[in-house]
Amino acid sequence: MSPRVLVIGAGAIGGVLASGLIRAGADVTALEANRKHANAISGEGLHVDELGVAHRTRIPSACAVGELSGQFDFGLITLKSIFIEDAIGPLVAGKRVQTYVSLGNGLVQGRIAALTGAESLVIGTVEWGATNIGPGVLAQTTRAPIVVGESSGVDSDRLQRLAGVLQGSSEVRVSSNIYGQVWSKLLLNSSLSGLGAISGLIYADIVGDKTGKALALELWSEGVCVAEACGISLEDVAGMDPYRPVVSATNSKQEAGAALEELMVRLGPTRASMLQDLDRGVLTEVDVINGGVVASGASVGIRAPLNEGIVKMIHECELGIRKPEISNLNELRERA
């Protein structure tokens, strides 16, 4: 029997993932609190622009745990971090999911494990990007792998089953160092998503701007410094060695900048998820992305001033006292 999959949060990442899985023949249901979006994707179907190829897929959906039927083998957690406790708590209480899979942004894995139990959690990262255009309409903007792994680093039957399911929608890699993978993606998000949110630019335009590129390199190095102090062994992200964008005695600023430019071949069209949140007037995940770097640094006695600056600026945008615009890049540079 095909594993039953519950996609917990059918926004940009979750919706595109659910659409791809269903088109590959998987048994998928979405748990989506936004009733207008849930009704659209379960009725007319979810419209997905997959890098220029249009799909429409009907996704069975529920807005609350009580509307779900039966139990699920895998619960793919793709919702925003601010909704984790409200969404996962009732699922755990009702014993609806056997194995949860953390696929969201930022350092949220500990919070999820506290709810599900570490033994019931597989950790993953989604390296491709997607955009929420409106109720029932999404777009996948880049192509890259999904990476999954056990927190212990060992292989397992459930990990192989999960990879087999996910391969229907995306390239999948199994990692024996999933926390290294999480941190490598955090470098990407804290550097480029943070700058995208305060500037209003897509990734390629950030790297194409002199100040934007310089800040991205400095943010990346700041994150690597914190990761190393926390004992994290970093992994390749989006096909790139995570140390290539770090300026050092053996890696010039030009070489580091060239690494970012190479990354833009794959990720350049990405519009930061935090910028999409600001566009819609909703809270961002900055506290677990750039704030995650800041908090992790503080735990080992290291400051992360650029990440601190981005957290402050994005909160100001959330409050409506600042707008995402390119001049914020210069202000961030001056603050740091």
Give the Cα separation of 306 and 304 in Å (integer): 6
**Pick from 291, 62, 123: nearest CA to 194:** 291
The total domain count for the chain is: 2
72 and 6 Cβ atoms separated by less than 8 Å = yes
CATH label of the domain that carries residue 48: 3.40.50.720
Task: Tell me: do 192 and 137 sit in the same domain.
Answer: no
19 and 43 Cβ atoms separated by less than 8 Å = no
User: How far from 119 is each of 76, 152, 304, CA to CA, in Å?
Assistant: 15, 10, 32
6 and 64 Cβ atoms separated by less than 8 Å = no
**Pick from 122, 129, 135: nearest CA to 273:** 129
> Which residues, in sequence order, are CB contacts of 47 under 8 Å at separation 6+?
54, 55, 56, 136, 137, 138
Structure tokens at 3: 């594993």
Structure tokens at 152: 């212990």
Final residue before a domain boundary, out of 176, 193, 211: 176
148 and 174 Cβ atoms separated by less than 8 Å = yes
Per residue in 74-131, pLDDT (tens digit) is 999 999 999 999 999 999 999 999 999 999 999 999 999 999 999 999 999 999 989 9
Task: Tell me: do 227 and 276 sit in the same domain.
Answer: yes
Task: Tell me: do 169 and 186 sit in the same domain.
Answer: no
Per residue in 34-88, pLDDT (tens digit) is 999 999 999 999 999 999 999 999 999 999 999 999 999 999 999 999 999 999 9
Task: Tell me: do 202 and 63 sit in the same domain.
Answer: no
CA dihedral defined by 312, 315, 321, 325, rounded to 10 degrees? 80
Task: Tell me: do 167 and 29 sit in the same domain.
Answer: yes
CATH label of the domain that carries residue 230: 1.10.1040.10
Structure tokens at 151: 């927190």
Task: Tell me: do 171 and 271 sit in the same domain.
Answer: no
Task: Tell me: do 92 and 212 sit in the same domain.
Answer: no
Task: Tell me: do 22 and 154 sit in the same domain.
Answer: yes
The order of strands in the sheet holding 130-134 is 53-57, 46-50, 137-140, 130-134
Mapping DSSP onto H, E and C, the string for the chain reads CCCEEEEECCCHHHHHHHHHHHHCCCEEEEECCCHHHHHHHHHHHEEEEECCEEEEECCCEECCHHHCCCCEEEEEECCCHHHHHHHHHHHHHCCCEEEEEECCCCCCHHHHHHHHCHHHEEEEEECCCEEEEECCEEEECCCCCEEEECCCCCCCHHHHHHHHHHCCCCCEEECCCHHHHHHHHHHHHHHHHHHHHHHCCCHHHHHHCHHHHHHHHHHHHHHHHHHHHCCCCCCCECCECCCCCCCECCECHHHHHHHHHHHHHHHCCCCCHHHHHHHHCCCCCCCCCHHHHHHHHHHCCCCCHHHHHHHHHHHHHHHCCCCCCCHHHHHHHHHC
Task: Tell me: do 209 and 71 sit in the same domain.
Answer: no
The residue segments making up the domain with residue 200 are 180-335
Task: Tell me: do 244 and 198 sit in the same domain.
Answer: yes
Residue by residue, pLDDT tens for the chain (336 residues) are 789 999 999 999 999 999 999 999 999 999 999 999 999 999 999 999 999 999 999 999 999 999 999 999 999 999 999 999 999 999 999 999 999 999 999 999 999 999 999 999 999 999 998 999 989 999 999 888 999 999 999 999 999 999 999 998 899 999 999 999 999 999 999 999 999 999 999 999 999 999 999 999 999 999 999 999 999 999 998 889 999 999 998 999 999 999 999 999 989 999 999 999 999 999 999 999 999 999 999 999 999 999 999 999 999 999 999 999 999 999 999 876
> Strand 130-134 vs strand 27-31: parallel, antiparallel, or unpaired?
unpaired
